[in-house]
Amino acid sequence: MEFASSYLPLDLARNTPIAQPNPGPGGIYARLEELGHRLDRFEEEVRARMPAPAEVKTLRLAAGVPVIHLIRTAYDTEGRAVEVCDTVMASDAYVLAYQLPAE
């Protein structure tokens, strides 16, 4: 239904549970906070597009089904980007719902 890749600065992830296939309870974000990188905000880019042939195969998509491509960047309270997560989702399997403050 989806596949995702996370990218983190090497100086944050090297020799930590973050670099393991299973970083433990709470995942990458819990490990970042344990290392002193308190999360402040996330930015997301969302687009719908037709899938590449490899994505059709990986996601086992029916003909004509688009994908949702989501790129999320996590920032700590110092303003440093501490993770970029690149996710591709089958559009017929997901609903993306957001609440946005009216500032």
- Report DSSP letters for 13-72, one per residue: HTTSGGGSSS--TTHHHHHHHHTT--EEEEEEEEEEEPPPHHHHHHHTPPTT--EEEEEE
pTM of the model: 0.88
pLDDT digits (tens, 9 = 90+) for 8-56: 999 999 999 998 889 999 999 999 999 999 999 999 999 999 999 999 9
- Three-state secondary structure call for residue 89: strand
Give me the torsion for CA of 18, 36, 78, 5, rounded to 10°: 10
pLDDT digits (tens, 9 = 90+) for 69-93: 999 999 999 999 999 999 999 999 9
